[in-house]
Amino acid sequence: MKHRRRFKQVTSLSDRLVEAANRCREQASHLPLGRERDALLKKARQADAVADFNDWINSPGLQPPE
């Protein structure tokens, strides 16, 4: 039976998503206008949205529906 390799993350998901978004924006700033730049900026916006959503889901004020 195969065993899965486990990797314990050192940083939180939100931190990794923010870093990824910043990396994408940095890469996009060095590119000319075009498809590749737009794709990187879209990826950065998506990472920001997921980080915000993750923070909202994990917030202590979130209540289950009644």
Domain residue spans of the chain? 13-56
Global pTM value: 0.76
Please provide the average confidence, as pLDDT, over all residues in the chain: 90
Q: How do residues 22-52 score in pLDDT, each as one tens digit?
A: 999 999 999 999 999 999 999 999 999 999 8
- The C-alpha atoms of residue 46 and residue 54 are separated, in whole angstroms, by 12
Neighbours of 37 (CB within 10 A): 16
Query: What is the average per-residue pLDDT within 15-25?
Result: 96
Q: Per-residue pLDDT for 9 more than 80?
A: yes
> Where does the chain have alpha helices with state H?
13-29, 35-57
